[in-house]
Amino acid sequence: MEYTAVFYTHSGAIKYDKFLREQSIKCQLMPVPRALSTSCGIGIRFTYDGNISLIVSSDIEKIFKATASGYELIYENE
């Protein structure tokens, strides 16, 4: 599955990028489409086939799953 995570801060995105790479999860830092977030503007696109709740961190604002019609919100930090 392909996901896009958006963050509250740039430093949170960079920390999460490092975490994913340490877990050998393929990922890429990228500008976030405005349709997904107005926060810091940086996100991470990654591919993951496991239970997404196992890799959620407090730095993440939202996680979207890529679908044929766009994006589906699957996680939102409260």
d(CA 78, CA 33): 21
What per-residue confidence (pLDDT) applies to 40? Answer: 74
Structural domains counted in the chain: 1
Q: By C-alpha distance, which of 56, 50, 47 is closest to 6?
A: 56
d(CA 11, CA 70): 27
**pTM, 2 dp:** 0.90
What per-residue confidence (pLDDT) applies to 33? Answer: 78
Domain of 35 in residue numbering reads as 2-76
What per-residue confidence (pLDDT) applies to 36? Answer: 80
What per-residue confidence (pLDDT) applies to 60? Answer: 94
pLDDT tens per residue, range 18-77: 999 999 999 999 998 777 866 778 899 999 999 999 999 999 999 999 999 999 999 999
